[in-house]
Structure 1
Amino acid sequence: MLLPKVLFPSLLLLTACTGTPAPVPPAEPPAESSPAALSSEPAPAPGSSSVPDHSQPKAGGQVVEVGNYHLEFVAIPEAEVIHLDFYLQRGDDHSSIADATVTAQVQLPDNSTQAVTLTYDAEGEHYFGNLSSTASGAYNVAILTDIAGEKVNGRFNFTK
């Protein structure tokens, strides 16, 4: 039994010193008909759920999941106004909700507040409005929605 213990480290040393790498088998390309090859969603990590993560932003904004809803807010500062975009979607399939009443209550850097009624843009499938402000600093935003009598609210912030 002593011989293999002494011989084994010597073999490893000889193999490492040869300079010839061990052959690597070629990778097999994925089958064209596999679900992973056809899906636009990334494949889930091993051991994770196969349900897509709907909490990720679709428009590059801040996301809040509230009950059965996906809320996404994007603020785009311009010279004289701040353009507000708000995506109100169903949480399960991210389909847009076009018939809600949406208001942004914005606290400006000087602690004053402004209410902005957001209007639905059917082409862009989102609500939008303009906040008249040129102030630099932190803004706090409460988006208040009424979806057929159901109140769904989200809180966001941004800095200009």
Structure 2
Amino acid sequence: MIVFNSCQQGVKQMKSLKSNLIVLGSVGLLFLAACNNDANSSNSNSTTANSPVASQPNSSSPAASGTTTAKTDHPKQSKGGQVVESGPYHLELVTEKEATGTHLDVYLQKGDNHEPIPNAKVTAQVQLPNGKQQTLALKYDADGKHYAVVFPVKDAGSYPIKVTADINGEKVDGRFTFNQ
């Protein structure tokens, strides 16, 4: 009888330990999933050169979509838009609604001191709310030290954008979203 009671207590302790491990494992998976979803929901930024370091829209931006403020290594250099740090490159999208559409400014910079890159070929591939895509060529504005274009669509909705910069044959991509 004593051996049987001792075995029953051992089995109960094993079940309790097993339950605790399952709960701990589940909480850990939920934490990892939440971290992964947070990273993915912040525009799924990517690059063919290097992986981005930071990639959340800045909530102070007029185009921010209600997400948390971006944390970058260079917050004083930010123009108030959505930022992607990709290896040595800093890409930032600032949007502003205008009467003729939405003005898109892309700041393409390099290095810790964020030197502007004036000689890149920059395009923006915009996905419309109906699923169609439109490609825009951005022109360099020497006065503002950024690339710019007016996106003529005024329809309400969410617009995912893939910005591609060709810098002397090196391609750098950043993914952003703005709401109209």
Shorter-chain TM range is: 0.5 to 0.7
Q: Which consecutive aligned stretches of 4+ in structure 1 deviate over 3 angstroms post-superposition?
A: none
Gaps of at least 5 residues in structure 1 are: 1-51
Instruction: Tell which structure's C-alpha radius of gyration is larger.
Output: 1
Note the 1:1-160 alignment, pairs <5 A. 53-54=73-74, 58-160=78-180
Cα shift readout 1:59-117 (whole Å, capped 9, x = no counterpart): 11000001110000011122231110000001311110000000000011121111110
For the residue of structure 1 that corresponds to 2:129, the secondary structure is: coil
- Quick check: which one's helix share is greater? 2
Counterpart code for 2:105: D
For residues 66 and 128 of structure 1, what CA distance do their matches in structure 2 show? 20
Return the letter of the residue paired with 1:95: E
- For 1:147 and 1:58, locate their aligned partners in 2 and report how far apart those are by CA, in whole Å: 21
Residues 71, 55 of structure 1: alpha-carbon distance in 2 compared, 3 angstrom cutoff: farther
TM-score of the aligned structures, taking structure 2 as reference length: 0.58
CA distance, structure 2, for counterparts of residue 114 and residue 75 of structure 1: 17
Q: What amino acid is the match of 1:96? A: P
CA shift, 1:57, in A, is: 5.8
User: Which gives a bigger RCO, structure 1 or 2 (Cα 8 Å, sep 6+)?
Assistant: 2
CA distance in 1, matches of 2:95, 2:131: 18
User: Deviation at 1:53?
Assistant: 2.4
Letter in 2 for 1:78: E
Contact 2:77-2:114 at 8 Å conserved across structures: no
**CA-based RMSD:** 1.6
Cα 1:153/1:86, change in 2 over 3 Å? same
Instruction: Give, in whole Å, the separation in 2 of the partners of 1:55 and 1:105.
Output: 26
Instruction: Give percent identity, aligned residues only.
Output: 50
Report the 3-state secondary structure (helix = DSSP H, G, I; strand = E; otherwise coil) of the residue aligned with 1:130: strand
Query: What is the aligned length?
Result: 109
Q: What is the rounded CA distance, in whole Å, between the counterparts of 1:57 and 1:83 in structure 2? A: 20
The alpha carbon displacement at 1:56 in A equals 6.2
